[in-house]
Structure 1
């Protein structure tokens, strides 16, 4: 039971930033294409900026999680592996 709950929490830790990045992308898309619908042709700057921030945070979290998991399992290129002290 404990392992199932831990896996559920781990999935939530990836789903929430994924949904955040998806919403940010959709907000940026809506803000960009709204300028073609209005008569004044202005961009919804606040929606664009908030969408960019949400998208960047979501992608950065998922990318960082993937990078550190791959580094732990030694799947990364040699330049990204942890440095060892030579004595």
Structure 2
């Protein structure tokens, strides 16, 4: 269950970042959506979505790596004691 939750947590920000890339690409190729009044607004929203998605993914990976490093360090400490 925890692995499924972790996959969902990784999947959603990945989709948000992909939507941001798509919005920026569509702006560059003159494909505008009606909800955005100007192309620059569409590009900025896409950039913000991309940055937020990548930042969340990066933070999740850093958190996981730090957590694993602590576990490995505890294992090494207990192995030296015994």
Asked whether the two chains share a fold, i.e. TM above 0.5, the reply is yes
What is the TM-score with the length of structure 2 in the denominator?
A: 0.69
Name stretches of at least 5 consecutive residues in structure 2 with no aligned partner.
32-37, 71-82
When you count helix as a share of all residues, which structure comes out higher? 2
Residues 11-40 of structure 1 show CA distances to partners (whole Å, capped at 9, x for unaligned) of: 1111000000001011111112218xxxxx
Which consecutive aligned stretches of 4+ in structure 1 deviate over 3 angstroms post-superposition? none
Paired residues in the alignment total 64
What SS is found at the alignment partner of 2:30? helix
Higher relative contact order (CA 8 A, sep 6+): 2
Name stretches of at least 5 consecutive residues in structure 1 with no aligned partner.
36-42, 76-87
Q: Which residue of 1 aligns with 2:6?
A: 10
What is the TM-score with the length of structure 1 in the denominator?
A: 0.66
